[in-house]
């Protein structure tokens, strides 16, 4: 349904769309009618940014991102005011020196101040001077200002040339394309070729200046870094000389080796000292036994001690060999077996007895040996301490030398890098400046390019058509009004009993429309026939509702309640029904005014025992249509409960249904007044009227909630004043 809605919206505005498209085509035709026929010339040149065809002094790989930046820089340089100015100087020199100038001035241009003040000789000399020095014109010098005015007159100024000059990179290639359009074929070719030449001249001049600056800068930096390197090398040399160090690492290594050897010897001497102590202790024990009168035998303890010493020596040798030497392992196995045999034999007393003198002699020898061993141990420990102190001194000196050596290394690296950059700058100065090569020379075109007038007109028409269509769709999309029944059902939670179309009743009154007394116009006739049929459907709903007293209300004013009440009354009268219209809209008594009814509602009051139909008919106004009577009101800023007397007419509506088939009342809008809420008590059915031009707001939803709470009195809603395109019949 939404698609149909939008299609109808477009169909309704079809003349806007067509008119806009036709207007765009006409405007495009007029604008392109006076366009001159232009000749196009192209020139191309390769940049070398993405490939290297020649031998270079160094290996250079250009990343693709860097190549893109170079392309952009080159195109910006080609489009720069300076390069365009150099091109303009060439064109002026050509025009002033040739019999076939490119610029053909009109009589009006020749009468201008810029042409009359122009001096050919002065301008020619100025252009050549500026071209040689590659400078732009200054607006502060009168001579150059006159030349600038002449350039603008001939179309050689920056803005005029840029309008017809197109410079771009051919996608995914190494080429840049230069295109120029002008009414003169030779001029187009001249421009693209001269622009390339001036660009190369300017670019190489710029590169040369930068190379000289780079060489001077790097030369200064290299000289500075060389001085820093020499200072650090001299500082290292002076430190080594002052400390008497030729090779700190070698000296430190020798000291550590000597310490290791002494520690090994110390361990062996400590083992020997322990053995001597044990032997001396054994001899002292034997002397005690001899002193007590016992006999001491020689049981081979000396052999046991000797074997044990050999086992310790073999264990040390095995550790130094990594613990995996087979020969040492076999030697240990034999020594351990001998040791066990010696221990076993020592348990049996055998041999001859030892005298006391022999034991004292043996003790004296062991004591001397033990003293010598102890002295050796002390000497070795002192030597080790001395060597370790010397090694600590070497370590401090080595750290200082290491720091100085690191500074020398860093200074050497910085010096080498700068020296390399200096060499590269010098190589670039002597080698080729760039890789630009013109691969396509601009040639004059034989025929002008197509004006593309037809394509431009078609594109203009299509563009306006699409833009107008989208504009209408967006307007409809953001339009919150309830234009059609489908939109109403999505936004208002009420039963829709009827849809009434727009019938232009300001030209034809309701009575004439319903009696088909209308003008002879097919469009108007069709619209009013639709109005009449839709009104009959609403009449059918009222007649088959089983109710007679109806209150017509709305959420907002200007929804068409007054017109709808009159139309329903006329339609009911055509089916031979008696209809009483009561204007209860006190805030806006349009029914009373339009039907010219007597304002008697507020003043009518009668006792119940005196009430009769005749009393009511005395205050009604008879309308021109048969069967319709009206009771009007004065109107004012009050509600029914505030203005109506005690025994007012609305209390007798059920009795009036005995004479009238239908009683129609109009109430005030629910959003602003409480009148309809007070009148609801007197009605059998309530009909809510909504205009298709209105939109549903939050306050409308509150009023809709009240209508939904009427406990069966709500007959439904009527969507009024709907455009024929949105009826959805």
Residue 327 confidence (pLDDT): 76
* pLDDT score for 407: 76
List of residues 6+ apart from 60 with CB closer than 8 A: 52
**Does this model's pTM top 0.75?**
no
Predicted pLDDT at 473: 84
Contact by Cβ (8 Å): 8, 485: no
Mean pLDDT score, 149-153: 91
Q: Is the pLDDT of residue 323 over 60?
A: no
DSSP 3-state of 193:
helix
Tens digits of residue pLDDT in 296-320: 655 555 566 677 677 777 766 766 6
- Rounded Cα–Cα distance for residues 723 and 717 (Å): 17
pLDDT at 347: 42
Is the pLDDT reported for residue 321 higher than 70?
A: no
Task: Give the pLDDT band of residue 139 (cuts 50, 70, 90).
Answer: confident
Q: What is the largest CA-CA distance in the chain?
A: 177
Instruction: Among 260-269, 578-587, 664-673, name the one with the lowest average pLDDT.
Output: 260-269
pLDDT at 366: 75
Q: What tokens appear for 325 in the block?
A: 């030497």
Distance CA 432, CA 435 (A): 8
The token pair that represents 463 in the structure block: 């563009």
Task: Please state the rounded mean pLDDT for residues 565-592.
Answer: 92
Q: What is the mean pLDDT of the segment spanning 442-447? A: 88
Residue 406: its pLDDT value, please? 78
Averaged pLDDT for residues 558-578: 90
**pLDDT mean across residues, the chain:** 81
The 3-state secondary structure of 250-284 reads HHHHHHHHHHHHHHHHHHHHHHHHHHHHHHHHHHH
Closest CA to 307 of 328, 269, 337: 337
Say if CB 98 and CB 172 are below 8 A apart.
Answer: no
Q: What is the per-residue pLDDT for 85? A: 92
Residue 300 Cα to chain centre, angstroms? 99
User: Which range is least confidently modeled, 198-202, 259-263, 404-408, 522-526?
Assistant: 522-526
Q: Hey, what are 23's tokens?
A: 């207007």
CB 156 within 8 A of CB 92: yes
Strand residues in 158-284 grouped as ranges (E) = 165-169, 175-182
Cα separation, 685 vs 682, whole angstroms: 9
Neighbours of 490 (CB within 10 A): 13
* pLDDT surpassing 90 at residue 329: no
Query: What is d(CA 564, CA 688) in angstroms, rounded to the nearest whole number?
Result: 11
Which secondary structure element, helix H or strand E, spans residue 642, and what is its range?
helix 640-643
- Residue 372 confidence (pLDDT): 76
pLDDT tier, 57 (very low <50, low <70, confident <90, very high otherwise): very low
User: Is 90 exceeded by the pLDDT of residue 34?
Assistant: no
Q: CA Rg, the chain, in Å?
A: 61
What pLDDT was estimated at residue 350?
46
Q: What does the pLDDT average to over 504-519?
A: 57
In this predicted structure, what is the pLDDT of residue 54? 47
- pLDDT for residue 484: 84
The pLDDT score that the predictor gives to residue 625 is 78
Q: Encoding tokens for residue 471? A: 């504009």
Q: Whole-angstrom Cα distance, residue 615 to residue 597? A: 17
**Residue 504, pLDDT score:** 63
Mean pLDDT check: name the lowest of 220-224, 380-384, 558-562: 220-224
For the cut 90, the answer to whether the pLDDT of residue 574 exceeds it is: no
Is-contact 499 536, C-beta < 8 A?
Answer: no
pLDDT of 319? 61
Sequence-ordered list of residues with C-beta below 8 angstroms from that of 252, at least 6 positions apart, any chain: 391, 394, 395, 398
User: What does the pLDDT look like over 199-212, one tens digit per residue?
Assistant: 998 888 877 665 55
What is the spatial distance between Cα 316 and Cα 324, in angstroms, rounded to a whole number?
A: 12
pLDDT at 308: 67
* Residue 474 scores a pLDDT above 90: no
DSSP code for 651: G
Lowest mean pLDDT among 102-116, 147-161, 409-423, 455-469: 409-423
Q: Region 172-194: what's the mean pLDDT?
A: 91
Instruction: Give the mean model confidence (pLDDT) for residues 132-154.
Output: 90
DSSP characters over 99-129: SS-S----HHHHTSHHHHT--HHHHHHHHHH
Report, as an integer, the average pLDDT of 113-120: 87
- The crossing angle, in degrees rounded to 10, of helices 248-291 and 356-430 is 170
- Give the rounded percent of residues in the chain with a pLDDT score beyond 90: 33
**Measured distance CA(715)–CA(710) in Å, rounded:** 10
pLDDT at 333 over 80: no
Q: What is the pLDDT of residues 631-643, one digit of tens each?
A: 999 999 999 999 9
As a whole number, mean pLDDT of residues 579-587 equals 94
In terms of pLDDT, which residue wins out, 466 or 288?
466
d(CA 176, CA 75): 8
Take residue 115 and report the two structure tokens written for it: 């042409």
* Dihedral angle sign, alpha carbons of residues 536, 539, 543, 545: positive
Least confident of 135-149, 217-231, 648-662, 666-680: 217-231
Q: Which two tokens stand for residue 267?
A: 């361990």
Residue linked to tokens 């004296």: 364
The pLDDT of residue 650 is: 94
Average pLDDT over residues 285-301: 70
Least Cα distance to 497 among 454, 544, 437 occurs for 544
Residue-level pLDDT at 481: 84
397/582 Cα distance (integer angstroms): 121
Residue ranges in 479-560 assigned as alpha helix (H): 485-491, 510-514, 522-543
Mean pLDDT (whole number) for 643-670:
94
DSSP 663-682: EEEE---TTT-SHHHHHGGG
499/520 Cα distance (integer angstroms): 25
Closest by CA position to 183, among listed 167, 164, 166: 164
Is the pLDDT confidence value at 1 over 50?
Answer: no
Reported as a pLDDT band with limits 50, 70 and 90, residue 669 is very high
- By C-alpha distance, which of 200, 198, 78 is closest to 127? 198
DSSP per residue over 24-62, as a string?
Answer: HHHHHHHHHHTPPP-EEEEEEEE--SS---S--SS----
Predicted local distance difference test score (pLDDT) of residue 480 = 78
Structure tokens at 350: 């055998």
Per-residue pLDDT at 349 = 44
Q: How many whole angstroms separate alpha carbon 406 and alpha carbon 403?
A: 5
pLDDT value of position 48? 83
Nearest to 74 by CA among 42, 53, 50: 50
Is the backbone of residue 323 left (phi > 0), alpha (psi -120 to 50) or beta? left
User: Where does the pLDDT of residue 55 fall: very low under 50, low under 70, confident under 90, or very high at 90 and above?
Assistant: very low
pLDDT for 336: 65
Q: Quick one: which of 165, 170, 167 has its CA closest to 49? A: 170
Mean pLDDT for 492-514 is 74
């Amino acid at each position: 349904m939404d698609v149909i809605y939008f299609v109808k919206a477009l169909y309704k505005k079809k003349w806007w769309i067509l008119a806009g498209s036709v207007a765009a085509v006409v405007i495009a035709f007029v604008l392109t009618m006076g366009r001159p026929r232009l000749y196009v010339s192209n020139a191309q040149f390769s940049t070398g940014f993405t490939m290297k065809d020649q031998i270079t002094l160094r290996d250079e790989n250009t990343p693709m991102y860097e190549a893109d930046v170079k392309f952009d820089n080159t195109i910006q340089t080609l489009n720069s005011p300076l390069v365009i100015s150099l091109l303009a100087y060439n064109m002026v020199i050509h025009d002033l020196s040739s019999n076939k100038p490119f610029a053909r001035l009109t009589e009006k241009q020749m009468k201008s101040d810029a042409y009359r003040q122009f001096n050919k000789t002065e301008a020619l000399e100025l252009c050549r001077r500026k071209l040689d020095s590659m400078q732009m014109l200054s607006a502060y010098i009168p001579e150059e200002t006159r030349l600038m005015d002449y350039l603008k007159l001939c179309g050689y100024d920056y803005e005029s040339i840029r309008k017809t000059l197109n410079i771009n990179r051919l996608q995914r290639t190494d080429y840049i394309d230069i295109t120029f359009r002008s009414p003169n074929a030779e001029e187009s070719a001249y421009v693209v070729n001269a622009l390339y030449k001036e660009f190369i001249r300017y670019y190489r001049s710029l590169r040369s200046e930068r190379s000289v600056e780079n060489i001077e800068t790097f030369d200064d930096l290299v000289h500075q870094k060389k001085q820093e390197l020499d200072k650090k090398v001299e500082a290292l040399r002076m430190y080594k000389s002052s400390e008497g160090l030729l090779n700190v690492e070698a000296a430190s290594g020798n000291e550590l080796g000597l310490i290791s050897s002494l520690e090994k010897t110390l361990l062996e001497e400590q083992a020997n000292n322990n053995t001597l102590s044990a032997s001396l202790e054994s001899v002292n024990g034997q002397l005690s036994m001899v002193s007590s009168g016992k006999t001491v035998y020689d049981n081979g303890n000396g052999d046991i001690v000797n074997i044990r010493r050999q086992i310790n020596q073999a264990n040390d040798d095995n550790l130094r060999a990594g613990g995996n030497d087979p020969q040492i392992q076999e030697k240990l196995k034999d020594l351990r077996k001998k040791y066990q045999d010696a221990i076993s034999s020592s348990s049996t007393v055998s041999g001859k007895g030892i005298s006391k003198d022999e034991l004292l002699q043996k003790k004296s020898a062991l004591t001397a040996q033990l003293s010598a061993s102890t002295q050796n141990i002390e000497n070795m420990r002192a030597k080790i301490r001395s060597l370790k102190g010397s090694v600590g001194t070497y370590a401090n000196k080595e750290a200082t030398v290491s720091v100085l050596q690191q500074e020398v290394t860093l200074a050497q690296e910085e010096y080498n890098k700068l020296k390399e950059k200096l060499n590269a700058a010098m190589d670039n100065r002597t080698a080729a400046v760039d890789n630009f090569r013109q691969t396509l020379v601009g040639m004059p075109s034989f025929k002008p390019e197509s004006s593309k007038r037809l394509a431009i007109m078609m594109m203009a028409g299509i563009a306006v058509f699409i833009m107008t269509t989208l504009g209408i769709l967006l307007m409809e999309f953001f339009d919150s009004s309830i234009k059609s029944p489908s939109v109403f059902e999505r936004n208002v939670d009420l039963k829709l009993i009827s849809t009434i179309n727009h019938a232009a009743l300001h030209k034809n009154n309701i009575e004439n429309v319903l009696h088909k007394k209308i003008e002879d116009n097919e469009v108007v006739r069709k619209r009013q026939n639709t109005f009449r049929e839709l009104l009959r459907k609403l009449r059918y709903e009222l007649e088959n509702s089983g109710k007679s007293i109806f209150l017509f209300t709305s959420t907002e004013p200007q929804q068409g309640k007054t017109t709808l009440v009159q139309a329903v009354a006329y339609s009911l009268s055509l089916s031979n029904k008696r209809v009483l219209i009561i204007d209860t809209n006190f805030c806006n008594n349009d029914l009373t005014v339009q039907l010219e009814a007597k304002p008697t509602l507020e003043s009518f009051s009668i006792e119940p025992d005196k009430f009769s139909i005749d009393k009511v008919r005395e205050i009604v106004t008879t309308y021109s249509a048969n069967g319709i009577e009206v009771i009007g009101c004065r109107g004012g800023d009050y509600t029914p409960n505030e203005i109506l007397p005690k025994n007012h007419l609305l209390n007798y509506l059920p009795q009036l249904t005995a004479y009238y088939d239908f009683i129609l009342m109009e109430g005030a809008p629910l959003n602003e007044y409480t009148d309809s809420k007070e009148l609801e008590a007197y009605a059998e059915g309530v009909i809510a009227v909504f205009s298709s031009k209105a939109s549903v707001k939050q306050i409308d939803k509150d009023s809709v909630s009240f209508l939904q709470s009427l406990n069966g009195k709500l007959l439904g809603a009527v969507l009024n004043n709907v455009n024929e395109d949105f009826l959805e019949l």
